[in-house]
Structure 1
Amino acid sequence: MPPAHLLVIGYVWPEPRSSAAGGHIMQILQCFLDQGWQVTFASPAGDGEHMADLAALGIARQAIELNNESFDRFIAELTPDVVLFDRFMMEEQFGWRVEKHCPSALRVLETSDLQSLRDARQVLLKDALKAQPQREDFSTLFSLDHPDLYRHMAAADISQREVAAIYRSDLSLMISQPEIELLTGQFRVPGALLHHCPLMVEPSGPGKPFEQRAHFLSIGNFRHAPNWDAVLWLKTVLWPRIRQRLPQAELHVYGAYTPPKAMALNNPAQGFRVLNWAEDALQVMGDARVALAPLRFGAGIKGKLVDAMLCGTPSVTTPIGTEGMHGPLPWPGLVASDVDGLVDAAVRLHQDQAAWEHAHAQARPLLEARYRYRPHAEALVTRIDTLRSTLQAHRLCNFTGAMLRHHHHKSTQYMAQWIEAKRKNTA
């Protein structure tokens, strides 16, 4: 099909150097720019500290407002062929307006990860720690087969909202294959509504050798709850035990939007250094000997661990960290689900050059097999083009989505119009 016009409605302006979600949306945009598409990015959010320079890429930028008819005029004039909602909250807010003014536009949802899965796992972790505050083995909490996971998700408001948005959309981009299996298996979402679209990268050189690297590294946006939990676990439990065995070791903790509570953890005397935002994440990752990502809850696939592979940096993480990331291929590092296992893994990779080099060598094959940019970019564009040419038949097969759109969009429309009218009367 000929090049078309893509409108992205973002929850925030993309920040590829601050989060994996920001990097993923930029990778998706690049897929369509490579095909000669016109791309417009719109968001109701304020400017971010580390936002991408969209204009430099030829992407038009448009500020929009919630509950404001100005968006109706904007999209009616723009007439995009495809509208991509970046997070389900944007589909909730703007989906009815898109359908009203551009009914033939293909509506795509970028989930980034299943927020409802992440939230349910956070609840399970809190419950486990409340029942056993000194718990050190979390293996039973990591599996998608956890007996309480679906029960927590199914009862949660956020799950019902997120899955409803997936049904209302023509296609949802899923970064993790296990999350596709969760949706199609437990929630009975039709597979035709989902498309696997992981992080897409181009592998480069092998990175620095063992003897040219030093220290441990932890990196991640502090606004992301799983990252903050991992840093606290490192500070209070894991790092003291690692440091006891490696008295000269240092852990360098980087993260965007570092709050005062994170800076308060900084203690150079203990080798625990909180260093704020890394302007070049790959540079600091490539200098580190071992990346630590002790994630006790979360969802999706982890940008920090893909970055570690790109730099040839072995990682120590949990089954949450590796979920959906390596399939049958070996992990380029070590995985454990309890405190002793994580500490042993960290010490081993830091000290044992043979073990480090074995893990280092496994990174490139995994990237080549699962994360190369071009195959995934071509598959995404092909899927979008196919749906554009068969959209009427595709929607006819999704009666549940049509029903949900009818009821949700009407209620959302009336609420938005009431808010707008109230604002005008009080202005």
Structure 2
Amino acid sequence: MLTLLGATSGGNGGIGLYGEANGASLTNSGTLAGGTGGLGGANITSLLGNDAPAAGGGGGAALILRGTASSLTNTGVVIGGSGGIGGTNVISALSAAGTGGIGGAAISLSGGGYVDNTTSIIGGAGGAGGYNDIAGVLSRTGVGGAGGTGLYLDGGTLLNAGTIDGGAGGLGAVNGAAGEAIVFGGVASTLIAAAGAVFAGTVAANATVADVLELSGTSGVALTGLGTSFTGFNEISFAAGAARTISGDATGLASGQTISGFTGTDALLLTGFSATSASFVSGTGLELSNGTTTDTLNLLGSFTTADFTVSSAGNTTEIALSSAPCYLAGTLIDTDIGAVQVECLAIGDRVRTLNGSFKPIKWIGRRSYSRVAAKSNPRTQPIRFRAGALAEGIPRRDLLVSADHAMYLADVLIPAAALVNGVSVVIADDIDPVQYVHIELETHEVIFAEGAAAESFVDCDSRMLFQNADTFRTLYPNDARTPWAFCAPRCEGGLNVERIRREIAIRAGVAAVLEPGPLIGFVDQALRSRITGWAIDQAHPNEPVELELTDGDALVMRFVAQMFRQDIADANLGSGCAGFDIALPMALAPDRPHVLRIRRASDQRELTGSPLEMPALAAFGEARSALSRVTEIGIAAAATVTEFDEMLDDLARAMQSVRTSRMKVSSGTEGRQPARRQVSRRALIIDDTLPDARRDAGSNAVISHMTSLRRLGFQVEFVPSTPIANPVLVAALTARGILVHCLPAVTSVEEVLRAGGDDYCVIYFHRLGNAEAYAGIARRHCRHARLVYAVADLHWLRLARQAEVEQWPALVDQARSLRSRDLMVMRVVDAVITHSPIERDILLAAMPDLAVTIVPWDVAPGGAPGSFAGRSGVGFVGHFGHMPNLDAVDRLIDRIMPLVWAEAPEIKLLLAGSAAPASLIRWVERMPQLELCGQVEDLAGFFGRVRLSVAPLRFGAGIKGKVLDSFAAGVPCVMSPMAAEGLRLTPELERLVGADDERLAALILEMHGSESAFQQAAVAGQALTAADHAPVCVDSAMRMVVNPVAERVLAA
């Protein structure tokens, strides 16, 4: 063999099965495999003596499903093709053999399809690196190929009850990396993990879309590694049906992900964090603190702090819901046929209720724990009421219930754990196993157990704690009763509960008045609306301590330290029921200082940490925290829909007051910053969404124009027509000195225009839709403002050109309609901005008197063109949701690059941009010469890799940002005439324009192969952007657009 350009790469393995039919349904019970990649070519002989052997071909995908709502049921094996072995090196011992090919993906799914896997889905193994064969001596010097992805999911659902495995990396001088188990694309998808699910390899969701991880099935599921092995999910969902456990670090569980469906059978393990306290804040989630930092789990549900059991071991925190109330097996329940053991009752049996009537049982729940398991959670430990503990003969014999089970005493329901006195009501930790049974009637009722009045079951989102919870859904699939509906007031603590507990203790022989012993305790936290801590009487560690809170000389409240705290129990300080977390009846006034004392009521001995001095608020941050706490108090105090409605009315009025004050500050008429009052000119920019400089040229243009207005002395404000806030993008604009109006500060553009009124000097509309919608309103409310319409590009011109290229008559009508709308709006505004001299001339031909100005946007210059030798490949940049870009990349791959590859197969095409469609992904999967980079955060880094970029647009309008960005980075751009339109090209740059596929391919080959041509074009491109797209150019043009504003202000 004689070669000058190197050996040929092995061919890619074939696809096992490919389908695009909508609604297709497939079942695999055998083996479905992709083809193995071909062997890389050897470098047998070379005139240059240094040609490298070729890489092995990539393995083929076993299955590609692209049709809408297609499905696969897999009970067999689906495996991607193995990568081919790298080519053999027989020329020089100093060279390495070929790299192994990449393993093929087992399955690629898009279009909203569904995969149900109960067996195995395995990515193809990476190909082995090739050998050096020098004089018959073999040594593996090639790098192993990466393993293939088990499943690529781009808009669909995967139910996994089997194994999904990324392919093994190929052997080599350096072994290839193992493939990922699952990779998510740019369309929101759902992964359902059922019992038996195994994920061998990482699972990488796309954090920019709403990917969901759901734990489901009828048996228990446990997943570990959230944040490391499982990344990028926006929502974690616990489906009903069985016990689920998820373990992960703060990145996977406490970084804004919503966690829904969490019930009593589920558990969360937060690794790398040892919590010492927890608090559930409605609308925020479960806040965990280790005394120094706070992590927040965004748990969705109607929870309170008391609903959670939080325990720490080592550097891991376990979160679970507290147990449901129950009777211990053996308890006698009064029925219409006498006392019957609770475990012997059946649905339909009639039990005695408080008013003397007998009502049928609707459902019976059952659950059991070992003694060790019950003891580890105080909410699951049984409480024993000894015979006669409550009254003479009540209960008739010892009654055992769970800690949360409520007894009916003095017309209220009180949890059993709140009544423990160590004598007649005690923790029963000697029962093994602990078998609980509970009975449910049609409504929550007081029934009789061992003669004592106690509650029936009420669903407080706790049914799933029972091991037979699924039987209820089977019996009553349409049950729609309201949960949390109690038959009597429920009191879990406080002075009234302590009075009842003391009466029961005195009945058992405990002294009516206890001599106070040594007091230990601490005030953990004191806020204006909430105080937390703990207190224990060492002489009576099982007796709750009654405390007083004073503010100066005034008594604020009395309360009892009786809340369970795991850290106190772990320290063997009594039962652990010695904590307090008190919401003050009214938040302390923020405008005056306070001296708070927390002391024992019986002898005024103060806790460690008391007194606390709380100065008047001086900083905004403190005032904001106080406002938040007052809201929390209101939420905790409201009990009816009417009260919540009244609270919402109050908050709405407060919100409107805040918005009004905010607009006054933004206008300079009010506020703490005198410098703002000196600003005489305000400009408001209106666009569809918050601009993102990484997304599109339109965003870069509007950011550039806003920055220019700032340099010209304007106070610049921005409001999107869809006022949803993205914190990252808001922060980026704020850093540039731009005031952003978004939710919750404002709800609409109209609100901003009305509030700003005549203070606005310039209203800048970006794009047709915003000019149409708001020009009239702006003219009415902002009478002195100059209305400026920036067209971005002439959309109707782009559509007309597309219609001509694609012979699409329907687009012709759309283009005519858009043109009429565009010209009508231009008659309403005072000035029109375009970026292109071609578009300016087209508009003036239609409307000779139009005030239209060419205003460029500034393009940041790159450094000097880098090393030619250190670069390789061709780059294409563009948002693939934009039709001209999608058409251009199709033309590039289908018609232009094959001409290039026929001459130089080693040239890779790198594609950068967001919203890649399934068709483009298919191209990338089939062709090793393609690399899909996705949305690139560092565009300079991308351009630093390639020798040239290419923009083969067939239709479009306006100046092309991709061309300018390439020029500024010192990278030549080979262009179609459409891509070059409107640019002031020098002769060195004009020669980069190709009118047809053949010319564009020839230019690519020339630019990629000639260092001198590269350097000449790179320097000319940077010179163009420096001359025509520098900030001074933008300012000069923008000054012409807004100059009448200055004259009007001076006249005023």
Q: Indicate the TM-score class for this superposition, using the shorter chain for normalisation.
A: 0.7 to 0.9
1:258 and 1:277 in contact (8 A); partners too: no
Q: Which has the higher contact order (CA 8 A, sep 6+)?
A: 1
Instruction: Tell me which residue corresponds to 1:325.
Output: 983
List runs of 5+ in structure 1 lacking aligned partners: 131-148, 392-427
1:266 and 1:274 in contact (8 A); partners too: yes
Deviations 1:190-222 (A, max 9, x none): 24x111111223434222121121111001111
1:291 and 1:316 in contact (8 A); partners too: yes
Amino acid at match of 1:184: L
Deviations 1:104-123 (A, max 9, x none): 21100111111111111111
Instruction: Tell me which residue corresponds to 1:136.
Output: none
Moved more, 315-324 or 207-216: 207-216
2:986 and 2:1020 in contact (8 A); partners too: no
Amino acid at match of 1:39: V
Amino acid at match of 2:1003: A
Moved more, 47-56 or 98-107: 47-56
1:266 and 1:272 in contact (8 A); partners too: yes
Which of 999, 1004, 1008 is 1:350 aligned to? 1008
2:831 and 2:852 in contact (8 A); partners too: yes
SS of residue paired to 1:218: strand
Matches within 5 A, 1:23-172: 23-45=700-722, 46=724, 51=729, 53-63=732-742, 71-79=749-757, 80-127=760-807, 156-172=816-832
Distance of 1:101 and 1:116 partners within structure 2: 30
State TM-score, norm by structure 2.
0.33
Instruction: Tell me which residue corresponds to 2:883.
Output: 225
* 1:84, distance to aligned residue in structure 2 (A): 0.5
1:286 and 1:308 in contact (8 A); partners too: no
1:3 and 1:35 in contact (8 A); partners too: no
1:106 and 1:388 in contact (8 A); partners too: no
The yes-or-no answer on 1:250 pairing with 2:908 is: yes
Moved more, 49-58 or 6-15: 49-58
Distance of 1:327 and 1:59 partners within structure 2: 34
Instruction: Tell me which residue corresponds to 1:421.
Output: none
Deviations 1:108-152 (A, max 9, x none): 011111111111111111118x9xxxxxxxxxxxxxxxxxx9xx5
Distance of 2:751 and 2:806 partners within structure 1: 46
Instruction: Compare the two structures and name the one with the higher strand fraction.
Output: 2
Instruction: Tell me which residue corresponds to 2:943.
Output: 285
The yes-or-no answer on 1:15 pairing with 2:678 is: no
CA RMSD of aligned residues (A): 2.8
- Cα pair distance change 1:72/1:293, threshold 3 Å: closer
Deviations 1:350-388 (A, max 9, x none): 112222222122122212322222132133124302355
- Cα pair distance change 1:328/1:3, threshold 3 Å: farther
Instruction: Tell me which residue corresponds to 1:272.
Output: 930
Instruction: Tell me which residue corresponds to 1:313.
Output: 971
2:709 and 2:1038 in contact (8 A); partners too: no
2:734 and 2:740 in contact (8 A); partners too: yes
Instruction: Tell me which residue corresponds to 1:335.
Output: 993
2:913 and 2:936 in contact (8 A); partners too: yes
SS of residue paired to 2:793: coil
1:216 and 1:250 in contact (8 A); partners too: yes
List runs of 5+ in structure 2 lacking aligned partners: 1-677
Amino acid at match of 1:62: H
Distance of 1:49 and 1:218 partners within structure 2: 30
SS of residue paired to 2:779: helix
Instruction: Tell me which residue corresponds to 2:1044.
Output: 386
Amino acid at match of 1:18: R
- Cα pair distance change 1:69/1:279, threshold 3 Å: closer
- Cα pair distance change 1:327/1:346, threshold 3 Å: closer
Matches within 5 A, 1:197-208: 197-208=855-866
SS of residue paired to 1:341: helix
- Cα pair distance change 1:120/1:8, threshold 3 Å: same
2:1007 and 2:1013 in contact (8 A); partners too: yes
1:332 and 1:362 in contact (8 A); partners too: no
Amino acid at match of 2:770: M
SS of residue paired to 1:40: strand
- Cα pair distance change 1:249/1:330, threshold 3 Å: closer
* 1:280, distance to aligned residue in structure 2 (A): 1.1
Instruction: Compare the two structures and name the one with the higher helix fraction.
Output: 1
Aligned-residue sequence identity (percent) comes to 24
Distance of 2:756 and 2:747 partners within structure 1: 15
* 1:282, distance to aligned residue in structure 2 (A): 2.0
Instruction: Tell me which residue corresponds to 1:190.
Output: 849
- Cα pair distance change 1:327/1:243, threshold 3 Å: closer
Runs ≥4 residues deviating over 6 A: none
- Could you say which structure has the larger radius of gyration? 2
- Cα pair distance change 1:70/1:342, threshold 3 Å: closer
Amino acid at match of 1:38: Q
Distance of 2:821 and 2:725 partners within structure 1: 27
